[in-house]
Structure 1
Amino acid sequence: MDIVISKSALQWFKNEVELKAGDKVKFYPKVYGNSPVQEGFSLGFTVDNEPIDIITKFEAEGMWFYIEERDLWFFNGHDLHVGYNEEIDEVEYSYTKHEE
């Protein structure tokens, strides 16, 4: 599984979440909402500088974006792509089937 963060999403995180070098963002499943990969669950993120078991990460400008092993089930064999939607000024997630 891979994580890809677009340049515009990275800029959003720096501006809106005030991320800086050394910060770590964890993506995790939330027990409400829906996603294309899990019904009844949506994806959230938190700034968490104490990762436990990183299964995959994306590193840019000294910042880490990661997923822990215990949350891998949520992605159901898909990679996570984080983009930026200019119309709503929010990050958005898309998922593609992981190719080995």
Structure 2
Amino acid sequence: MKISISEAAVKWFKEEVGLDDGGKIKFYSQIYGTSPVQKNYALAFTVDNEPIDMAVKTEIDGVTFYIESSDLWFFNGHDLHVDYNEKKEELEYSYTKS
């Protein structure tokens, strides 16, 4: 599995979330949502500087984006792509089969 983050999304994380170099964003599953890969679950993120069991990560412009081993089930064999939609002013997640 891979994580890819667009330049626009990295910029959004730095400006809106206030990340500096060395910052970490954890993507995780949350109940009561919707996604194309898991019914009744959605993807969320949090600023987290203490990873427990980082299974997948990508580092871009000084920021680490990662997923813990305990959340790999959510992706069901898909890669995660994160982009920023300027018209909607929000992050967009898409998934492609690995």
Using the size of structure 1 for normalisation, the TM-score is 0.96
Is residue 2:3 matched to residue 1:3?
yes
Q: Deviations for 1:15-37, whole angstroms, at most 9, x for unmatched residues?
A: 11011101100000010111000
Alignment of 1:55-94 (within 5 A): 55-94=55-94
Which ranges of structure 2 fall in alignment gaps of 5 or more residues? Answer: none
For residue 82 of structure 1, report the CA deviation from its aligned partner: 0.2
Q: Deviations for 1:33-88, whole angstroms, at most 9, x for unmatched residues?
A: 11000000000000000001111101012110000000000000000000011111
* Structure 1 segments of 4+ aligned residues over 6 angstroms from their partners: none
Query: Share of identical aligned residues, percent?
Result: 62
Distance 1:78 1:5 in 2: 15
Using the size of structure 2 for normalisation, the TM-score is 0.98
Distance 1:6 1:28 in 2: 19
Alignment of 1:13-92 (within 5 A): 13-92=13-92
Q: RMSD of aligned C-alpha atoms?
A: 0.6
Number of positions where the alignment pairs a residue of Structure 1 with one of Structure 2: 98
